[in-house]
């Protein structure tokens, strides 16, 4: 007797996936941007200075969140959000568009296809979104003089930041740091999309056994084991990346399903 195959993945056109991918990651960015602000401050603190020779304003994730709130108010936790949304929209719009195109061409069905497609899609997305990421970092580092870490660019906003960087450093200056961003996003994208594809297939096979689908799996684990069970084995380095990845891919997959159902019914 032939083994039942899992149902095919939801398929929508690559241009639609560009919009859905951008939207899903922007939604996730709203929730995770405070952690991105803290990460930027922690990374810039004591830059190129021996340990113990500078004052530490930020000491770990939770104390840093409190320090930012005290210095800049609760709105300070969302510094750089506009630039962050622009980055997520550009980078992940391109990334999901390219990955969806690879799916439509059947490239992800080949051995190692999901990894290769995820890596290439990530590299292209990182390149396109690099200027927005640069501006986001500049804006997130800005704070009152007493709490300042790293160089303070004092941009008045996103458009002002783009204009200032272009005027001082030219077009090339907007892509400063792209050579570090591309390999980082390539690796992350390859692992993320390949893992998500495998996890989705696993959940599909479990339908009728433990879970009715991805969302049901998410809800059941949260309810019975607690929210922390969703992060089993995850280290502190993934405190920001974990939630952002889960929310981005969850939003993306659900938006694709919704779009596919509308297309099927001719809406």
| Full pLDDT tens readout for the chain, 267 residues | 334 444 444 555 556 767 777 788 788 888 889 988 988 888 888 776 777 777 888 888 888 899 999 988 989 899 999 999 999 999 988 998 899 889 888 988 898 899 999 999 999 999 999 999 999 999 998 988 888 887 888 899 999 999 999 999 999 999 998 988 899 899 889 888 888 787 777 767 766 666 666 677 778 778 877 776 665 444 433 555 666 677 777 777 777 777 767 777 665
Q: Are 239 and 38 in contact (CB under 8 A)?
A: no
Domain residue spans of the chain: 14-264
Q: What is the reported pLDDT for 171?
A: 92
Q: What is the reported pLDDT for 6?
A: 40
C-alpha distance from residue 254 to each of 24, 40, 117, 164, 172 (Å) = 9, 31, 21, 39, 38
Hunting for tokens 């970092």 — which residue is that?
A: 137
Q: What is the reported pLDDT for 196?
A: 78
Q: Is 149 exposed, middle or buried (0-12, 13-18, 19+ CB in 10 A)?
A: buried
Q: Are 58 and 141 in contact (CB under 8 A)?
A: no
Q: What is the reported pLDDT for 208?
A: 61
Hunting for tokens 């920001």 — which residue is that?
A: 240
Q: Which CATH architecture has domain 14-264?
A: Alpha/alpha barrel (1.50)
């Amino acid at each position: 007797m032939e083994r039942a195959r899992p149902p095919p993945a939801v398929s929508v056109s690559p241009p639609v996936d560009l919009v859905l991918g951008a939207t899903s990651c922007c939604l996730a960015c709203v929730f995770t941007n405070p952690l991105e602000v803290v990460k930027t401050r922690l990374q810039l603190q004591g830059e190129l200075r021996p340990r113990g020779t500078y004052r530490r304003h930020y000491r770990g994730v939770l104390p840093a969140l409190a320090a930012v709130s005290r210095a800049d108010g609760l709105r300070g936790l969302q510094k750089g959000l506009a630039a962050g949304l622009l980055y997520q929209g550009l980078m992940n719009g391109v990334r999901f568009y390219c990955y969806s195109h690879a799916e439509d061409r059947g490239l992800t069905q080949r051995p190692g296809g999901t990894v290769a497609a995820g890596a290439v899609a990530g590299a292209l997305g990182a390149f396109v979104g690099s200027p927005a990421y640069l501006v986001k970092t500049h804006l997130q580092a800005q704070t009152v003089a007493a709490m300042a870490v790293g160089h303070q660019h004092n941009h008045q906003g996103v458009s002002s930041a783009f204009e200032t960087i272009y005027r001082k450093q030219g077009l090339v200056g907007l892509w400063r740091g792209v050579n570090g961003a591309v390999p980082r996003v390539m690796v992350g994208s390859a692992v993320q999309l390949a893992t998500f594809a495998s996890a989705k297939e696993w959940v599909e096979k479990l339908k009728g056994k433990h879970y009715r689908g991805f969302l049901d799996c998410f809800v059941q684990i949260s309810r019975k084991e607690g929210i922390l069970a969703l992060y089993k084995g995850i280290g502190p380095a993934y405190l920001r990346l974990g939630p952002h990845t889960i929310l981005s891919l969850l939003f993306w997959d659900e938006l694709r399903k919704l779009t596919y159902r509308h297309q099927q019914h001719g809406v």
